[in-house]
Amino acid sequence: MDCEKSLVVFQNRSIRRIWFNEEWHFSVTDIIAILADSKDEMAYWRKLKQREPQLVTICHGLKMPAKDGKMRYTDCVNTKNAFRLIQSIPSKNAEPFKKWLAQVGYERVQEIENPELAQKRMKELFKQKGYSDEWIEKRVRGIAVRDELTDEWKKRGMITEREFSILTAEISKATFGITPAEYKIMKGLKKENLRDHMNDLELIFTMLGEASTTRIARNKDAQGFIENKDAAVQGGSVAGVARKELERRSGQPVSSSENYLDVPEKVKRKRLKDE
């Protein structure tokens, strides 16, 4: 295990973490040691579980390096449940987190009542990450297209993340000739969101493949996994044909190994304009 990647530092204290089920999980006792007014985080955790037994259900026992250097099972929580744990710790150190959670909850209620606020905040977040207005418009539109597709799948009996993943891979293969997992490898990505590292054309063809799949599934009244898989292949093929034609006429591939890990999209866009 890479020690640097297995630790996250907060208030000059280390919290052990491990990648499990496609997300980070954090040591419960390390969180308690930082936030709780207790000299014995293990004893505190035992009492906390007695007081709130439901906390046990949000934990996973995962092996992490202990103080003696050996790998030992440790109660861990993902990011969402770390916030739930923090809410149960009556400590002044936890108060800033609780206030922040209350603010986030309030904003979420506002977004439900007025969806335009959610889109506005999303755009602002992308701006803060260094994306241009042109890219943001396509990315946000792509999210809407994706949501329409997943809603259509749910209506047609697709309910599990695995089914969504397989169908998405079929669209990607037909559109770009590679799966999302292979695309991430090509771009040098690991846990990052693939679409956040796509350029304009990649986002456009992704949208075309997914929008086409939605229309085909709807018009053919596709039911069940097999029929929706066939619709996904057909929808992706529509985008694939268009991609190949553009590549033939432009002499350049659409798929790119470029990412925005080190240089923000906005900076790269400006460099291209200045060339």
CA 129 to chain CA mean position, Å: 15
Reply yes or no on whether the pLDDT at 156 is more than 70: yes
Pick the closest to residue 98 from 35, 39, 149 (CA basis): 35
As a whole number of angstroms, the distance between CA 202 and CA 204 comes to 5
pLDDT of residue 3: 39
- The whole-model pTM stands at 0.69
Among 64-73, 154-163, 221-230, the minimum mean pLDDT is found in 64-73
Among 108-112, 184-188, 252-256, the minimum mean pLDDT is found in 108-112
